[in-house]
């Protein structure tokens, strides 16, 4: 049976505990709907802007330069240049990975590609994977990417606003995909070799996952995804797992009716959900020294409820939740721990900011 939401009680308890309040600084502003960031070993941040620009930015001075050699994007609706990640062996191979909404036959799709960073240019950029089929839609691209400890790349895809795709194993949309670093498909994927399923799919039944992180102790993949009217979820993808959308969800249609039951045999329940919705985007586990009390805690951005969610964990159970930065009114799109141990946030606005919590 799915867990009952204890959010009101959790928020009350969190407020009474009195977590440390961080110092919030504006490291940069004037960003055009920034979507994701990754830190280079020397400390600069690579930041994607949804309209299609990739920046190299010094978070101490705010100085920035445009990175050339990026792909052409379909920047309509929720689409455009999306996530960014460095190869685990970036210091040796200089590979930078990007996802984006790209035009293709009969519509567009979530693309994955990589190039080598040389100065302020991506050289030899190549498309590695396209989440087919192409769809005539401008929403629900998903599109977070993360490497696990074994070097496999996980890529999330949304249902493209056409919910039944999430239950179709011959459709990449509404899934978590597992790939090798060159975009090929691992032979030990759960559906590899089957005629009735696409081999890149790792888990399915996802609506629009826009957060992904690897747990620092267990090495497990954690994601979160947007629900409709309520029912935002934190899920722990498993090989071949069905996470239910749209057959089961805490969310409701935007005009009110129920979509499906809260639980359903054969599907995997979320470990946490937000009802009403906060519209989560971006997530990271904190492992730095700047906030010792936060080590091992999870941080999630909120677009609709404009705050930073701080979740204290006991294993996979959320035992308290605090809402930070509620007074700023900022849509928080991405979260990344910096090499200095600070938390960095991107705010999703036409005049977006890079915020530093330290």
Q: How far apart are CA 185 and CA 238, in angstroms?
A: 17
In a 3-state reduction of DSSP, which class is residue 163? helix
Assign 292 to helix, strand or coil: helix
What three-state secondary structure class fits 14? helix
> Is 103:136 a contact under the CB 8 Å cutoff?
no
| Cα–Cα distance, 202 to 111 (Å, whole number) | 17
Q: Which of these, 168, 158, 212, 161, lies nearest to 191 by C-alpha position?
A: 168
Closest CA to 315 of 296, 337, 336, 295: 296
| Catalytic annotation, pick one of 33, 111, 140, 226 | 140
Rounded Cα–Cα distance for residues 270 and 8 (Å) = 18
CA distances from 317 to 5, 235, 285, 350 (A): 12, 11, 14, 36
Beta bridge partners, 324, equal: 308
* Annotation says 140 is catalytic: yes
Cβ atoms 97, 85 nearer than 8 A: yes
- CA dist 280 and 334 (Å) reads 10
Write phi, then psi, for 146 (nearest 5 degrees): -155, 145
Active site residues: 140
């Amino acid at each position: 049976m799915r867990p009952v939401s204890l959010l009101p009680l959790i928020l009350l308890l969190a407020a009474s505990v009195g977590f440390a309040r961080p110092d919030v600084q504006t490291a940069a502003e004037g960003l055009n709907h920034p979507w994701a960031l990754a830190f280079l070993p020397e400390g600069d941040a690579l930041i994607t802007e949804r309209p299609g620009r990739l920046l190299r930015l010094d978070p101490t001075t705010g100085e920035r330069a445009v990175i050339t050699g990026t792909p052409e994007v379909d920047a309509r609706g929720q689409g455009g240049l999306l996530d960014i990640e460095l190869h685990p062996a970036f210091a040796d191979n200089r590979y930078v990975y990007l996802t984006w909404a790209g035009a293709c036959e009969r519509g567009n799709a979530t693309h994955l590609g990589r190039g080598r960073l040389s100065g302020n240019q991506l050289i030899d950029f190549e498309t590695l994977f396209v989440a087919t089929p192409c769809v005539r839609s401008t929403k629900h691209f998903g599109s977070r990417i993360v490497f696990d400890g074994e070097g496999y790349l996980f890529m999330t895809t949304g249902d493209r606003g056409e919910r039944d795709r999430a239950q179709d194993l011959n459709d990449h949309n509404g899934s978590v995909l597992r790939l090798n670093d060159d975009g090929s498909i691992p032979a030990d994927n759960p559906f590899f070799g089957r005629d009735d399923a696409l081999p890149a799919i790792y888990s399915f039944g996802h609506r629009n996952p826009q957060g992904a992180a690897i747990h620092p102790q267990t090495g497990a993949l954690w994601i979160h995804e947007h629900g409709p009217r309520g029912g935002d979820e934190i899920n722990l993808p498993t090989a071949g797992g069905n996470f239910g959308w749209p057959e089961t969800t805490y969310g409701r249609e935007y005009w009110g009716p129920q979509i499906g039951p809260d639980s359903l045999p054969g599907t995997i329940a979320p470990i946490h959900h937000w009802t009403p919705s906060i519209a989560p985007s971006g997530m990271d586990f904190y492992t730095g020294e700047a906030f010792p009390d936060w080590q091992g805690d999870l941080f999630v951005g909120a677009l609709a409820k404009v705050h930073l969610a701080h979740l204290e964990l006991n294993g996979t159970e959320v035992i308290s939740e605090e809402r930070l930065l509620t007074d700023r009114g900022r849509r928080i799109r991405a979260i990344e721990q910096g090499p200095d141990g600070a938390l960095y946030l991107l705010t999703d606005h036409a005049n977006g900011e890079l915020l530093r919590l330290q």
